């Protein structure tokens, strides 16, 4: 969700949702700047679809960047759950990161491939496409790389030793800088735990 970065803006959103019979269940601030804030918000709005959600939020001056159903619970830290599982089973660190990565990073799918042949998929999450889109972003440098592929997939890639990990969102939104930093940190920690 994007909304004005000013005092009372989130209160206006909460009030609009309450008036429509809904509630904010969980919220994480992702970015703020240039007068706007971007938040990852879990909303409970019984009986309403995405169009109604967009209408309610627009009435409060907010916009929806992407809406999707979730099973996330208030206070849940899926990134810590992923790292805990890697610590418990370090030999499966890459497979665990892929299988849980889509949920952790709000993606529709995740895969790992050989670094030398991105068509050779080693691990895949539920929902990953049977054929990966062409032009996957080669993970080089300190931050994960992102690209829009086939006018549809917002994809981010990050290196893992002699593998690449790719996460994809169908129709966006774009992976924000703060999400790329979190992805890098979680992958660094998972690799460290696997090596320990």
Instruction: Give me the tens of pLDDT residue by residue for the chain, a chain 196 residues long.
Output: 888 999 999 999 999 989 989 888 888 888 888 888 888 888 888 887 788 888 988 999 998 887 777 655 555 678 888 999 999 999 999 999 999 998 888 899 999 999 998 889 999 999 899 888 889 998 887 789 999 998 888 999 999 988 999 999 988 788 888 888 889 999 999 999 998 6
CA dist list (Å): 43 to 11, 23, 113, 137, 189: 14, 6, 35, 32, 30
22: Cβ contacts below 8 Å, ≥ 6 apart: 43, 44, 45, 46, 48, 53, 56
44: Cβ contacts below 8 Å, ≥ 6 apart: 22, 23, 25
Phi and psi of 141, rounded to 5°? Answer: 85, -175
Phi and psi of 174, rounded to 5°? Answer: -60, 140
Question: Which region, left, alpha or beta, applies to residue 36 given φ > 0 means left and ψ of -120 to 50 means alpha?
Answer: beta
For residues 61 and 4, the answer to whether their CB atoms sit within 8 Å is yes
> How, if at all, do strands 153-160 and 121-124 pair?
unpaired
Burial of 28 (0-12, 13-18, 19+ CB in 10 A): exposed
**What local confidence, expressed as pLDDT, does residue 71 receive?**
58
CA dist list (Å): 74 to 1, 21, 46, 84: 17, 18, 17, 19
């Amino acid at each position: 969700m994007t909304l004005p970065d000013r005092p009372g803006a989130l209160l206006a959103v909460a009030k609009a949702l309450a008036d429509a019979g809904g509630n904010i269940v969980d919220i994480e601030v992702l970015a703020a700047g240039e007068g706007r804030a971007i938040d990852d918000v879990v909303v409970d709005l019984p009986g309403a679809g995405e169009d109604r959600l967009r209408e309610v939020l627009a009435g409060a001056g907010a916009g929806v960047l992407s809406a999707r159903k979730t099973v996330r619970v208030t206070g849940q830290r899926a990134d810590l759950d992923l790292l805990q599982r890697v610590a418990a089973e370090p030999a499966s660190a890459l497979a665990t990161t892929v299988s849980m990565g889509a949920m952790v990073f709000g993606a529709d799918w995740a895969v790992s491939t050989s670094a030398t042949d991105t068509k050779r998929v080693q691990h895949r999450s539920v929902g990953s496409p049977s054929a990966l889109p062409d032009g996957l972003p080669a993970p080089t440098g300190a931050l994960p790389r992102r690209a829009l592929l086939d006018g549809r997939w917002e994809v981010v890639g990050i290196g893992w030793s002699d593998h690449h990990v790719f996460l994809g969102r169908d129709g966006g939104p774009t992976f924000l800088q703060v999400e790329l930093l979190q992805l890098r940190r979680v992958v660094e920690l998972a690799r460290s735990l696997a090596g320990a």
